[in-house]
Amino acid sequence: MPPNPATTAIDIAPFFIELGIVFLALAIVGRLAGLIGLSPIPFYLLIGLIFGNGGLIPVNLSTSFIQIGAEIGVILLLFMLGLEYTPRELSEGLRRGAVGGLANIVLNFTPGVVFALALGWDIVLALLFGGITFASSSGIISKQLTDLGWLGNRETPTLLSILVLEDLVMAIYLPLMSVLLVGAALSEGLISLSIALVTVLVVMGVALRFGGHISRLMATHSNEILLLTVFAVVLLVAGVTQQLEVSAAVGAFLVGIALSEPIDKRVRELINPLKDVFAAAFFVFFGLQINPMDLVPMMGMAMLLVLLTGITKVLTGWFAGLRAGIATPGRWRLGTLLTIRGEFSIVIAGLASAAGLQVAELAPLTAAYVLSMAIVGSILVRVVNPIVRQLMLRGRRAA
């Protein structure tokens, strides 16, 4: 017998109301973030903390519904990230930024590993935390470049090459950590990792060689059909790569790289609003799982990490800028932009939850770190540049 429509409406009404309240809160904080010139991502995390268990206004949202939305959010985030790079930019970025990329790994992966080992975590979790401190937020940085009008700056190609290399490192790192976190036997782990690496290389090879053909095949005058086609391909590839024990997000990232002219700009315009909605769900879902009271004892450690990894990221940008012959202000812009952490750090922390590992400090420490780093980094970008210019101007006058 079909359910009584009246009963269904009564049952689902509170859910719609609570979900509406959450999205209204997201809209409000997103607007406020725009007014003060900051990324909305840390504020989305705060909304999750406010409405989660132990928050100021706990709501009984369907976690399975939000979780599915969050997973789609991660996939679309990484897809849009891949869409930022053409195959040619990818290969050029690899050649141009190899040395800077290696310095980036040494300077920014190592502090996370050492910090986690000092907390008494095992080596697998230490490697996981190294990824959290290593990865800059391509999404927030891209938005900052657009908002500040720095896309045409001399240092921007060097910055993008570093971000490309970070994303490629993540393409190998995420499946590797997925294998290590499930505690597979050595033989099973090697097989799974081999499958993951082959999958990444095959998809990347197809993207580099046949990206233009794939884009022309998918091209259509109808925005509706194009959106449905791209969304379907992204989900299918993400699902297949996940089945092959490669992160679904990595599969989506590689699909983004594969798409090029004539449809890449249209796809970006069509998918971007959808990505923003689901990405907001992703950050909210992460925040919902954390009791805000658990953040308080983590803030001291988080601020120590902010100081340490802020310095190492600035050094990374300075070194890369120096090698590229970029002037001092450009090096400072490069370094301060790289300090911003965001989506990748949260994705990496989510791997532990997906693997069923319960580490009391990991989620709240990551949340405190990302919140602090996203806000501090965004402020540094806007504050340091005019200060450096003013100091250099004074130096020239004095000379």
pLDDT in tens, 272-293: 888 888 877 777 877 777 778 8
How would residue 93 be classed by pLDDT, with cut points 50, 70 and 90?
low
* pLDDT of 7 strictly over 60: no
Q: Indicate yes or no: pTM above 0.75.
A: no
Q: Supply the CATH number for residue 261's domain.
A: 1.20.1530.20
9 inside domain: no
What is the total count of domains within the chain?
A: 1
Query: According to the per-residue pLDDT averaged within each range, which of 20-24, 70-74, 168-172 is highest?
Result: 20-24
The larger pLDDT score, comparing residue 6 to residue 223, is at 223
The stretch 26-38 carries a mean pLDDT of: 83
Domain-embedded: residue 133: yes
- Please state the three-class secondary structure of the chain as a single string: CCCCHHHHHHHHHHHHHHHHHHHHHHHHHHHHHHHHCCCCHHHHHHHHHHHCCCCCCCCCCCHHHHHHHHHHHHHHHHHHHHHCCCHHHHHHHHHHCHHHHHHHHHHHHHHHHHHHHHCCCCHHHHHHHHHHHHCCCHHHHHHHHHHHCCCCCCCHHHHHHHHHHHHHHHHHHHHHHHHHHCCCCHHHHHHHHHHHHHHHHHHHHHHHHHHHHHHHHHCCCCHHHHHHHHHHHHHHHHHHHHHCCCCHHHHHHHHHHHCCCCCHHHHHHHHHHHHHHHHHHHHHHHHHCCCHHHHHHHHHHHHHHHHHHHHHHHHHHHHHHHHCCCCHHHHHHHHHHHCCCCHHHHHHHHHHHHCCCCCCCHHHHHHHHHHHHHHHHHHHHHHHHHHHHHHHHHHHHHC
The residue among 217 and 316 whose pLDDT is bigger is 316
The pLDDT, as a whole number, for residue 71 is 77
Report pLDDT digits (tens) over 142-179. 767 766 777 778 888 788 778 777 877 776 777 777 77
Which pLDDT tens digit goes with each residue over 96-140? 666 777 788 889 999 999 999 998 888 888 888 999 999 888 767
* pLDDT at site 92: 66
| Mean pLDDT score across all residues of the chain | 78
**pLDDT number for residue 188:** 60
Has residue 309 got a pLDDT over 90? yes
Range of the domain at 312: 14-398
Task: Out of 4-8, 75-79, 339-343, pick the least confident.
Answer: 4-8
Asked if residue 300 is part of any domain, the answer here is yes
Instruction: Identify the residue with better confidence: 296 or 397.
Output: 296
> Does any domain span residue 44?
yes
pLDDT value at position 399? Answer: 59
Residue 171 lies in a domain: yes
Residue 8 is assigned to a structural domain of this protein:
no
Report percent pLDDT > 70 for the chain. 78
Inside any domain, residue 108 = yes
Q: Assess if residue 284 is contained within a domain.
A: yes
